[in-house]
Copies of this chain bind each other. A is one copy, B any other.
């Protein structure tokens, strides 16, 4: 692939560009973003130059959509009939079913490889981009037709992801959305709900007096921006609904046991599971 076009040069798009360069890619990297972002991205050596969406689509062998989910959906619709022959489109959206539906209809199952890197950090924007962001992180890939994995650009992309130190994991789109509703979306809602309900009954100063070391852990995610989460919540309704129902039922069970029934088994199950998932990978 001679040209890669990154639509949305923020933390993820910028980190992908830097990682691609470090992985040995010598072709051209174009950025499609606001002019201020492009100026910063060029200054930081993240992209070679900016391009209009049209020119980038015309030139690119790989189109990397690193925008918010609703923007990704719009760009996919817009790309209809504009792809260079043999080009591949991929994305980084945190939910996959709706994106795969639209991409399959608009671009065809053999021109689109869904992606979702489980990477991020508190800072946002191209200024926070780093070549090592994907290292050691799962990078979910979703397809509607296995044949797209034999697409020459897809093969190169997967090689690069492995060079990044990322762990590509192929998953059915619906199974992806169910999994992240439990491991990512539910923890976010649990933290937001905790901070929100406490804000209704406590003054920040007295909360600070009563906050032990665990309080900080449980309310860090609550500082996430709704801008990112609105799209996730609106494109994964059913799975998040089921995840919340499961969590509420667990809390109700604990509440019902309070004061008369031992919940040692719940603590033990939680501690074991948490220990297994948090254990460093071999």
Residues of A that sit less than 8 Å from B by CB? 118-121, 138, 140, 167, 169, 179-180, 182-184, 186-202, 204, 206-226, 229-230, 233-234, 237, 240-241, 244-252, 254-255, 258-259, 262-264, 266-278, 281
Closest residue of chain B to A237 (Cβ to Cβ) is: B259
CB distance from A249 to the nearest CB of B (A): 7
| Chain B residues near A209 (CB-CB < 8 A) | 118, 138, 140, 167, 169, 179
For the complex formed by this chain, how many copies does it contain in all?
A: 2
| Chain B residues near A219 (CB-CB < 8 A) | 187, 270, 273-274, 277-278
| Chain B residues near A274 (CB-CB < 8 A) | 195, 219-220, 222-223
Identify whether the interface residues of A are mostly helix, strand, loop, or mixed: helix
| Chain B residues near A250 (CB-CB < 8 A) | 193-194, 196-197
Contact call B210/A221, Cβ cutoff below 8 A:
no
CA distance A224 to B272 in the complex (A): 10
CA distance A282 to B101 in the complex (A): 52
Contact call B220/A214, Cβ cutoff below 8 A:
yes
CA distance A213 to B196 in the complex (A): 21
Select which of B140, B180, B193, B213 is within 8 A of A121 by beta carbon: B213
Select which of B191, B258, B271 is within 8 A of A240 by beta carbon: B258
Contact call B182/A251, Cβ cutoff below 8 A:
no
Which of A187, A274, A278 has the most chain B CB atoms inside 10 A of its CB?
A: A274
Contact call B218/A263, Cβ cutoff below 8 A:
no
Contact call A190/B184, Cβ cutoff below 8 A:
no
In the complex where A209-B179, A271-B223 touch, is A249 in contact with B215 (Cβ < 8 A)?
no
| Chain B residues near A212 (CB-CB < 8 A) | 118-120, 183-184
Contact call A277/B179, Cβ cutoff below 8 A:
no
Contact call B229/A189, Cβ cutoff below 8 A:
no
In the complex where A120-B212, A263-B233 touch, is A207 in contact with B221 (Cβ < 8 A)?
no
Which of A121, A180, A218 has the most chain B CB atoms inside 10 A of its CB?
A: A218
Select which of B184, B196, B237 is within 8 A of A214 by beta carbon: B184
CB distance from A139 to the nearest CB of B (A): 10
In the complex where A234-B259, A248-B251 touch, is A215 in contact with B272 (Cβ < 8 A)?
no
